[in-house]
Amino acid sequence: MSRLTLLAAALAAGSVLPSAVRAQTPETSPRVVLDAVDITSSILPSRMEHVPGSTAVIDEKALEAQRPFTVKEALRSVPGVHTVDEDTFGLGLNIGIRGLDPRRTSRTLLLEDGMPLFLAPYGDPSAHYSTPLDRVQRIEVVKGSGQVLYGPQTVGGMINFVTRPVPKNGVEGSVSATVGNNDFRGWHANVGAGGERGGVMLDLLQKSGDGVRRGHDFDVREATLKGQLNINPQHTLLGKVGYYEEDSHITETGLGAVEYAEDPLQAPTARQDRFEHERKSVQLQHIFQINDDVKLATQAYYVDAQRASFRQINEPGSLGGRSEMDRCSGVVATEANSRTCGGRWRPRDYTYWGIEPRLDFRHDLFGVPSDAVVGFRYHEEDIERRQYRDGDPRAQSLGWARQFGSFREHIDIQVEAKSYYAQNTFHIGDWSFTPGLRYEDMRIRTHVLQAEGESQNNPEARLTNNTSKLLPGFGAAWNGIANTTVFAGVHKGFAPPRPDRDLNVPNCNGGSAQDCAIVNRTRPEESTNWELGVRSRYFTGVGFEATLFQTDFDDIVIQDNGRFFNGGESKQAGVELAGRVDFGPILKTAHNVYVTASYTNLFTAKFKKDDPAENIVAGNRLPYAPKHLLSVALGYQHPVGFDARIGADHVSSQFSDGENTRVENLSGEEGTIPSYTLFNASMNFRPAGSKTSYFLSAYNLTDREYLVSRVDGKFAGRERQVFAGIRYSF
Write out pLDDT tens, residues 541-567. Answer: 999 999 999 999 998 888 776 677 788
pLDDT score of 96: 94
Residue 39: what pLDDT? 58
Q: Average pLDDT for residues 328-341, to the nearest whole number?
A: 97
87 or 201: which leads in pLDDT: 201
Distance CA 665, CA 254 (A): 13
Pick 266 or 107 by higher pLDDT: 266
Per-residue confidence band for 344, with pLDDT thresholds at 50, 70 and 90: very high
Q: Which of 288-297, 342-351, 450-459, 631-640 has the lowest mean pLDDT?
A: 450-459
Grade residue 88 by pLDDT with cuts at 50, 70 and 90.
Answer: confident
Note whether 434 and 424 are within 8 A (CB): yes
Range of the domain at 472: 3-262+271-344+353-729
Query: Is residue 106 predicted with pLDDT exceeding 70?
Result: yes
| Percent of the chain scoring above 90 in pLDDT | 79
Residues 657-680: pLDDT tens digits? 999 999 999 999 999 999 999 999
CB-based contact 387:346 (threshold 8 Å): yes
Give the mean model confidence (pLDDT) for residues 82-109.
Answer: 89
Query: Per-residue pLDDT for 331 more than 90?
Result: yes
Of residues 622 and 21, which shows the higher confidence score? Answer: 622
The H or E element spanning position 584 is helix 583-587
CA distances from 148 to 334, 362, 437 (A): 50, 19, 6
pLDDT digits (tens, 9 = 90+) for 365-394: 889 999 999 999 999 999 999 999 999 999
pLDDT range class, residue 6, cuts 50, 70, 90: very low
Question: Residue-wise over 404-422: b if at least 16 C-beta within 10 A, else e?
Answer: ebbbbbbbbbbbbbbbbbb
| pLDDT mean across residues, the chain | 90
CB burial string 196-226: b at 16+ within 10 A, e below: eebbbbebbbebbbbbbbebbbbebebebeb
How does 598-610 read in b/e, with b if 16+ C-beta sit within 10 Å? bbbbbebbbbbee
Query: What value does the mean pLDDT take over residues 56-82?
Result: 95
pLDDT at position 337? 97
Q: Which residues contact 459 (CB under 8 A, 6 or more apart)?
A: none
Q: 140-164: per-residue pLDDT in tens?
A: 999 987 788 999 988 989 999 999 9
Under the banding of pLDDT at 50, 70 and 90, the label for residue 515 is: low
What pLDDT is attached to residue 15? 34
Q: Report d(CA 357, CA 11) in Å as an integer.
A: 8
Mean pLDDT calculated for residue range 570-584: 98
Is this structure's pTM higher than 0.75?
yes
Q: Nearest Cα to 417, choosing from 328, 355, 505, 349?
A: 355
The sign of the CA dihedral 359, 362, 363, 368 is positive
Name, in order, each residue with C-beta under 8 angstroms of 713's C-beta and a sequence gap of 6 or more: 253, 254, 255, 256, 260, 316, 317, 323, 667, 668, 669
Instruction: Extract long-range pairs of 331-340: CB within 8 Å, 24+ residues apart.
Output: 333/268, 333/269, 334/268, 335/215, 335/268, 335/269, 335/270, 335/271, 337/268, 338/268, 338/269, 338/271, 338/272, 338/312, 339/271, 339/272, 339/393, 340/393
Q: pLDDT digits over 241-296, tens only?
A: 999 999 999 888 999 999 999 999 999 999 999 999 999 999 999 999 999 999 99
The pLDDT value given to residue 566 = 82
Contact 638, 591 (CB under 8 A): yes
Strands 157-163 and 108-112, how do they pair?
Answer: parallel
Comparison of pLDDT for 461 and 234, the residue scoring more: 234
Tell which residue, 595, 699, 688, 599, has the closest CA to residue 74: 699
* 8 A C-beta contact, residue 221 and residue 235: no
The residue ranking higher by pLDDT, 43 or 529, is: 529
- Residue 401 above 60 pLDDT? yes
Query: For the residues 429-450, what does the mean pLDDT come to?
Result: 94
Least confidently predicted of 8-12, 129-133, 581-585, 664-668: 8-12
Q: 29 falls in which pLDDT band (50, 70, 90)?
A: very low
Domain count, the chain: 1
Contact 115, 301 (CB under 8 A): yes
pLDDT at 16: 34
- CATH number, residue 27: 2.40.170.20
Strands 170-180 and 721-729: antiparallel
DSSP state of 170: E
Burial of 297: CB neighbours in 10 Å, binned 0-12, 13-18, 19+: buried
In percent, how much of the chain has pLDDT > 70? 91
In 3D space, the residue among 40, 5, 13 whose CA is nearest the CA of residue 358 turns out to be 13
